[in-house]
Chain A
Amino acid sequence: MSRPDDLVAPVFAEEWGRLVAGLIGWCGDWELAEEAAQEAFARAVEVWPRNGVPTTPAAWLTTVARNAVRDRLRRRGTEAAKLALIAATSDDEPAPPSGFPDERLRLIFTCAHPALPMPGRVALTLRTLCGLSVVEIARAFLVTESTMDKRLVRARAKIRAAAIPYRVPPAELLPERIDGVLAVLYLLFNEGYSASSGDELLRVDLSTEAIRLARLLHRMMPEPEVTGLLALLLLTDARRSARTEHGEIVPLAEQDRSRWDRAAVDEGRGLLADLSGPPGAYEVQARIALEHDRARAAAQTDWAAIARLYELLPATPVVELNRAVAIAEAYDVQLALGMVDQLEPELAGYHLFHATRADLAARTGDLTGAIAALDEAIRLAPTGPERRLLARRRAALTAE
């Protein structure tokens, strides 16, 4: 006999989001939908090892979950619940087959609604679409379970109380609302990617969840910016396993490029190849990542191409800082240093500003200036691994 987890886990990964999305559409109650989905999977863990996996697990789960919704509504017994119950029982059509139209699209857009606070959007996405438990999400964001639970309760309560619509937005709202969804996925990915490595074992892999969701969105809605974001996540994630060594950060130039995930690079490259027309911000960042990924050695990086790509992004201080780095590599360190100095008023509190300045100063021979800048960078660095990386650089400078 198979272990319950082996039977149910793959179906859970595939069907959780779809099940919850369908249930919300059917009964209109987010919490009830989640509870019922949870109950349906709990039943599956019990029943499937005994009776085998049903031929259509999705339909089986939907039937069990809908019954769970009805039971709960009946037990609640208030007027409102009775009304909902009537609505819920009058609609007894069989569960929709997997595939289009996918209810998860409505769920993605509603979770990312701009009237919800950003932390609530992220938490709701992980809970309802990915099926992560409250404990897992709380750990991923280093908050207590009760804090995370409150966040979820509040987000769901606002959806209900303020009547946030459960739908894919109409055409005129779609561009900005897609941006909102992508912002959630991007934040999720970065949260996972930059997570300090110390407690990695305890934390669910947010980057992987973000890529999974971006793939799903891309399959259902292959808009250029969605394609661009998926490419960016893949092309960045491709370098992940080479990015740290024993908990220490390995800078891009020193990474073992044979450890980069070539399949992910190829997939990202393929996505970008399909795009034409004026590039969006995610696509440009993806193309920058690809320039790094395709260089066989750090010295072969086409920095001139990267500098040109940065020109396509809105000239925020951080973009200008990165463009200065590319210009230093491709053309002229002095020119780059001048650009960086001009950013000081805006970036004085950003550790990478000082780290970049230190690097450029050292290359012009200004060791004193470089060490002073590194000290400032070390003071401002937010995590231990980053502080240690900067400290190693400082030690290397003073040894020269």
Chain B
Amino acid sequence: MKYFLTHVIEPDGSWPEDTEQRLDDWVAEMDHRGVLLAGAPLRSDVAPTAVRRTDTTVSVSDGPFAETKEQVAGFDLIEAADLDEAIAVAGAHPTLGNGAIEIRPVIPGMPTPVPREPRADRERYLMLVCWDQTGDAEITEQGRPGDEPRPMDDWIAYAGERRLHGWQLQPPAFATTVRRVDGAVAITDGPFAETKEQIGGYDLLEVTDLDEAVAIATAHGSDLIDLRRCAAEVPSQVGDGAATA
């Protein structure tokens, strides 16, 4: 089972000296165990870009999709046997003392390009597809969104090789957020912040510049897309098949 982890941190948190080292250790450990399929920290020095669409207009603006106290700082895509394993993986992450990790199950069935090495001459952007998910309309006993055909084929063809991978996520009602409180991992139901718009899916783009990312986001057709520049190389083993270490 795949889970999408959203890392959020306190913007003015103080970090122990060895955080960087412990981050590297966590990545190495999870990669070795075959848990980590993809992931990257996001550039904190580059503001996110929001692409909003109404019936008639598309507007591009500076700023995150939602004003929250904690800021989205990175993501990971992991493969875990069940939620308890996902919680253990998130619980071991070194940034947890200064923020939270939201764990969201991925809806299977999204077509994924053949994994390939990242291109050195391109930038990677994390594209968060957001919408208002306040209604619980999607949660029914029989509702298994993964069983339904997806109308995104045209967009996926348009994005082509520039889309490294991406998944639709189970609704925020199925999110679990992990924090560290007094040295122990605290588990709560729900997303990291109760905002009106919530992340509903993501795609990782490899493009020349922000304009190209905005063009792909605009073509997506969603009401609200949040683009964030990634800071580092990412492993990429994200197909529907088993992860290979």
Contact = CB atoms under 8 A, between A and B. Distances in A.
Contacts of B87: 115
Pick from A115, A154, A173 the residue with the most CB of B within 10 Å. A115
B170 interface: yes
A192 interface: no
Contact of B147 (A31, A80, A153): A80
Contacts of B147: 78-80
A250 interface: no
Interface string B102-126: 0101000000000000000000000
Contacts of A80: 144, 147
A208 B110 CA distance: 49
A163 B141 contact: no
Interface in A135-173: 150, 153-154, 156-158, 161-165, 169, 173
Contacts of A163: 1, 81-83, 105
A156 B174 CA distance: 10
Contact of B189 (A31, A116, A157, A176): A116
A165 B84 contact: yes
Given A117-B189, A117-B190, A164 B82 contact: yes
Contacts of B168: none
A115 B176 contact: yes
A163 B87 CA distance: 11
Interface residues of A, number: 24
The interface size bin for chain B is 20 to 34
Contacts of A113: 83
Pick from A31, A163, A173 the residue with the most CB of B within 10 Å. A163
Contacts of A153: 139-141
A31 B83 contact: no
20 contacts: A78-B147, A113-B83, A114-B188, A117-B189, A117-B190, A153-B139, A153-B140, A153-B141, A154-B136, A154-B173, A157-B139, A157-B143, A157-B174, A158-B174, A161-B105, A162-B83, A162-B176, A163-B105, A164-B83, A176-B184
Interface of A: 31, 78-80, 113-117, 120, 150, 153-154, 156-158, 161-165, 169, 173, 176
Closest 10 pairs between A and B when the two form their complex, measured CB to CB: A114-B187, A165-B82, A115-B176, A117-B189, A163-B82, A161-B174, A163-B1, A161-B170, A164-B83, A162-B83
